Amino acid sequence: MSQRTVTLKFSDSDRTIELPIMEGTLGPDVIDTRSLSSQGILTYDPGFLSTASCSSNITFIDGDEGLLYYRGYPIEQLAEHSDFMEVSYLLMHGELPTAEQKVKFVDTVRHHTLLHDLMGSFFRGFRRDAHPMAVMVGTVGAMSAFYRDSSDPFDAKQREVAAYRLLAKVPTIAAWSYKYNLGEPFMYPQNRFDYASNFLYMMFATPSEDYQPNPVLARALDRIFVLHADHEQNASSSTVRVAGSSGANPFACVAGGIASLWGPLHGGANEATLTMLEQIGDASRIGEYIRRAKDKTDSFRLMGFGHRVYKNMDPRAAIMRQTCHDVLNELGLHDDPLFKLALKLEKIALEDEYFVDKKLYPNVDFYSGIVMRAMGIPNSMFTAIFALARTAGWVAQWMEMVASPEQRIARPRQLYTGSIRRDFLPMDQRG
Ligand code: CMC
């Protein structure tokens, strides 16, 4: 079949430009506009509403149908039958591991979990009340200084070691950022535990008492990791790719991803959801907050609702909703006032005309915050846990980007709306 094209026709002249249409294996066709700049034309798309910034074979989302696949596997199947280590392998290598590959992968990650001893002193430079995400941006960026032998993005072996180091050490950094807040001693990773149990251990154990991670909570946490592991070209993954496109080292790129994730419109929404629920305080005030969310003159938004791509239920939210009910039941928390309030808000928003018309469904952050809160995880750690899980996706996206022959430095252009040329005015002629 001959190449399909689209023709751009200018309304004020006979000029036309023919552009090739690219087809993926799934999802919308993409118009290849790369040749436009050499013809003196640019495309305009702030916020990237209609822009495919790269080609990728890692993750697929169909926002209308509410589908999410990692390497072709539906998220529902992975959440039910797989675990975070297997999913990380899948994201990085493209295929599910064999039994032997999995053992080797898990073992390698395990043996990279310790931080360079001097990194402990690095933590001590922060204020005690520093937000864990602030500590993570700083300390993950600082890995560039501690692990210089795996910071060359153009060396395949160094890339691989960096990937293992990030996957293994980010949980240690996240847990230690919490311990630092509490003023408790840092707990060293324990190789006898699985990934999620080890994280719970580093967060909640102390040297003075025996601590055994609860397997039900570890399984629920592992599921949270699986659901958050990757999500196509979202703000933080795009940040990692843009940073990496200049040849920056992987630790600096992932620190950039963490910074981008922190915002309340992205990963920070899980913490913002709980802050909002605490502000609402009582079911009698839900109406007031729903009214504020609909009011165009009020900047308030219902946190944990809406998504750029999903105009149907976010499949991660559907799974997380179930996990949320399971965990609340398991812990006997269904009658907790905050959780009752959350479930009431969910019900009202799902039926409200404004939210229904705009297709604003509860997203994954709405339920994950509630689940983590029920598990005894403090609000300030929610986004840090999202970052820990998304590290798998960031690393996979970064590796794909670095290896792609199509990749060039990311350099968007602009529609300039400033002053036209004018001459410099000496001070006495201004104003
Ligand atoms: N509450 C009230 N109104 C909303 C909300 C909300 N949560 N979300 C979107 N809207 C309205 C918005 O005012 C706009 O209305 P109109 O067309 O009349 O101007 C319309 O819906 C479309 O919104 P938008 O801001 O143009 O959509 P977007 O794709 O740029 O933003 C979003 C997507 C997720 C940033 C947004 O829905 C939002 O701010 N949600 C709350 C924050 C949140 O929960 N973020 C987590 C997203 S999921 C996990 C992740 O990505 O990390």
CB 102 within 8 A of CB 85: yes
Alpha carbon of 361 to ligand 1 centroid (Å)? 10
What angle is formed at CA 25 by the lines to CA 19 and CA 31, rounded to 5 degrees? Answer: 15
Write out the two tokens for 336: 């907790």
What average pLDDT is seen over the chain?
95
Q: Are 258 and 137 in contact (CB under 8 A)?
A: yes
Domains and CATH numbers, the chain: 5-52 (2.20.28.60), 77-404 (1.10.580.10)
Cβ proximity of 362 and 342 under 8 Å:
no
pLDDT of amino acid 107: 97
In ligand 1, the atom with minimum distance to the C-alpha of 358 is 21
Residues of the chain with pLDDT under 50: none
Identify the pLDDT of residue 335: 84
Active site (annotated) includes residue 32: no
Calculate how far, in angstroms, residue 415's C-alpha sits from the geometric centre of ligand 1: 25
Of ligand 1's atoms, which has the minimum distance to the CA of residue 267? 52
pLDDT of res. 313: 86
For residue 273, which atom of ligand 1 is closest to its CA? 44
Please report the pLDDT score of residue 328 as a whole number.
Answer: 84
pLDDT at res. 1: 66
**Whether residue 276 has its Cβ less than 6 Å from ligand 1:** no
Provide the token pair at 344.
Answer: 């009431």
Instruction: Out of 112, 365, 423, 428, pick the active-site residue.
Output: 365
pTM value?
0.95
Tokens of 176: 């230690």
Q: Which of 365, 311, 314, 360 is nearest to 342 (CA)?
A: 365
- pLDDT tens for residues 68-85? 999 999 999 999 999 999
Cα(351) to centroid(ligand 1), Å = 17
228 is catalytic: no
At 334 the pLDDT is 81
List the catalytic residue out of 155, 307, 335, 357. 307
Q: Is the CB of 389 under 6 A from ligand 1?
A: no
Residue with the nearest Cα to atom 45 of ligand 1? Answer: 265
Q: State the first-to-last Cα distance of the chain, in angstroms, to the nearest integer.
A: 65
Q: What is the pLDDT of residues 128-169, one digit of tens each?
A: 999 999 999 999 999 999 999 999 999 999 999 999 999 999
Q: Is 227 in the pocket of ligand 1 (CB under 6 A)?
A: no
Nearest to 54 by CA among 19, 15, 22: 22
